[in-house]
Amino acid sequence: MDTSSNYDDNSDQGYHPSPSSLDQTETPRFSTTSGDSFLFRRVYSQTSAFSDPTDDNSYSSEPSPCHWSENRSSPHNQPVLGRLAMKQRKQIIDDHESVDTELEMMKERFAKLLLGEDMSGSGKGVCTAVTISNSITNLYATVFGQNLRLEPLNPEKKAMWKREMDCLLSVCDYIVEFVPKSQNLKNGSALEFMETIPRSDIYINLPALRKLDAMLIEILDGFQETEFWYAEQGSMSSNSTRSGSFRRIIVQRKEEKWWVPVPCVPPGGVSEKSRKHLRHKRDCANQIHKAAMAINSSVLAEMDIPDTYMASLPKSGRASLGDIIYRYMSATDKFSPDHVLNCLNVASEHEALELADRVEASMYTWRRKACMNHSKSSWEMVKDLMSDIDRTDKNHVLAERAESLLFCLKQRYPELSQTSLDTCKIQYNRDVGKAILESYSRVLEGLAFNIVAWIEDVQFVDKSVRKQGHK
């Protein structure tokens, strides 16, 4: 028997690295870089090379000093220890680089926030509210922009979304309002002072948005193992031909977009359990979409209308709408916004958005005319005076009908882009709290709408396949 081989085996078994060493060398590391507006690197490790606790008993299972000296003197063990030391040193260097990289990225983001995205430093940048709004929008595009399937979010992007949003939303912790409060002293006198509390709109809406955010991520995580799969449009890969490809079915859909992956299901369709799961998740995402849209609409409604928009309004609401729509609006019989939209036969999202801009402009034109008899003409005064206007006034009636038509239009086309007024409000808004609530609710509304659409795509294919199977 070769004693040297036994000696090698025993010497290898004689060395037991500490738990902290194993963690340092075996902990997986991931990094991500964004091609849009964010660039950083993330190291997922539960332990750090700088803060590992030293356990006095970590070497209790090692051999005696005599045996240890023999092992150390063995030329076979020296390369092993050398490689281990090199890995530990490389881990420390990588941790240093990771911390430095994240610190530099935070410095860059903080600088852009202060400069208002004006790198010249001349003070011509946008205000803080617009900068934060753009940051949330860009972060959403970076994390969710390439996600077009019903599948869990990439762990790196999920961590990126949580960390960056926590940083941006932390501003709301310092947005407060003062309320009077009194305290009775020991001598019986009362001391009045002002106490700070979170601003009411942030206190109500921000926790709700955080909850909706977590629910949407949870919905995506619920599609870990699915009975359906995806095939790239125009691709005949092995995945697209597995158990048959049903791309011919989805092609018949008018709303199909060529860059969206095509869902595929087995020849008999998905199971009843999977079908119930899809219905439940769709209902949840649809409710989240409605909640986010309601918060976004309320925040936009509270934003001041810029003077530039009021100055650009047409002098006549009829000229803004056109004669055909105006006849429907001014009809003496009962007005029905649904009937108007059915008669107009809007064919595309572009036409719907153009109509929304025209209706909204005419609405504020008629409201302004209804208040022209009052001496105060600013928009703040207009809002206060609307309650005093004669409800039978023609301009007021037309404004009310235009508002109902605009509401019905947005309900019929929930994917409608922002109107000119909404864009103008966001651009000229100076309230940081409203900017955060508006942008956060807007991106969550978009994500919820996408999830509903993806689920409906799978349901459409499943229904079509089952119909074909019954023929």
Nearest CA to 355 out of 437, 287, 419 is that of 419
pLDDT at 424: 94
Q: Which residue has the higher pLDDT, 64 or 39?
A: 64
Number of C-beta neighbours around residue 195 at 10 A: 12
Q: Which residue has the higher pLDDT, 324 or 90?
A: 324
pLDDT at 382: 52
pLDDT at 162: 94
Q: Report phi then psi at 52, rounded to 5.
A: -65, 130
- pLDDT category of residue 202 using cuts at 50, 70 and 90: very high
Looking at the predicted structure, is the pLDDT value of residue 451 above 90? Answer: yes
Structure tokens, 200: 């009411």
pLDDT at 326: 87
Residues 6+ positions from 301 with CB-CB distance below 8 Å: none
CA 461 to CA 455: how far, in whole Å?
A: 10
- pLDDT category of residue 146 using cuts at 50, 70 and 90: confident
- Token pair 């508006």: residue: 438
Q: How far is CA 419 from CA 202, 349, 406, 408, in A?
A: 24, 12, 11, 14
Distance of CA 268 to the CA centre of its chain: 35
Q: How far is CA 260 from CA 143, 312, 461, in A?
A: 17, 39, 14
Strand partners, 194: 180
- Token pair 């996408």: residue: 450
Average pLDDT, the chain: 75
pLDDT at 381: 53
Structure tokens, 246: 């049903």
Average pLDDT over residues 191-210: 93
CA 368 to CA 395: how far, in whole Å?
A: 9
The CA dihedral of 402, 429, 107, 176, to the nearest 10 degrees, is -110
CA 429 to CA 128: how far, in whole Å?
A: 10
Q: Which residue has the higher pLDDT, 249 or 224?
A: 224
pLDDT at 207: 96
Structure tokens, 368: 């302004």
What is the three-class DSSP state of 230? strand
Looking at the predicted structure, is the pLDDT value of residue 103 above 60? Answer: yes
- pLDDT category of residue 158 using cuts at 50, 70 and 90: very high
Which 8-state DSSP code applies to residue 152?
Answer: P
Number of C-beta neighbours around residue 326 at 10 A: 17
CA 450 to CA 425: how far, in whole Å?
A: 25
Which 8-state DSSP code applies to residue 264?
Answer: E
Structure tokens, 359: 């209706």
- pLDDT category of residue 373 using cuts at 50, 70 and 90: low
Q: How many Cα atoms within 13 Å fall on the side-chain side of residue 98? A: 17
CA 463 to CA 49: how far, in whole Å?
A: 55
Residue type, 22: L
CA 102 to CA 7: how far, in whole Å?
A: 47
CA 29 to CA 97: how far, in whole Å?
A: 13
Number of H helices, E strands in the chain: 19, 4
- pLDDT category of residue 57 using cuts at 50, 70 and 90: very low
pLDDT at 82: 62
**DSSP output for 278-335:** HHHHHHHHHHHHHHHHHHHHHHHHHSPPPHHHHHTS-S-HHHHH-HHHHHHHT-SS--
Average pLDDT over residues 110-128: 80
pLDDT, tens only, 4-42: 444 444 444 444 444 434 444 344 433 333 333 333 333
pLDDT at 248: 38
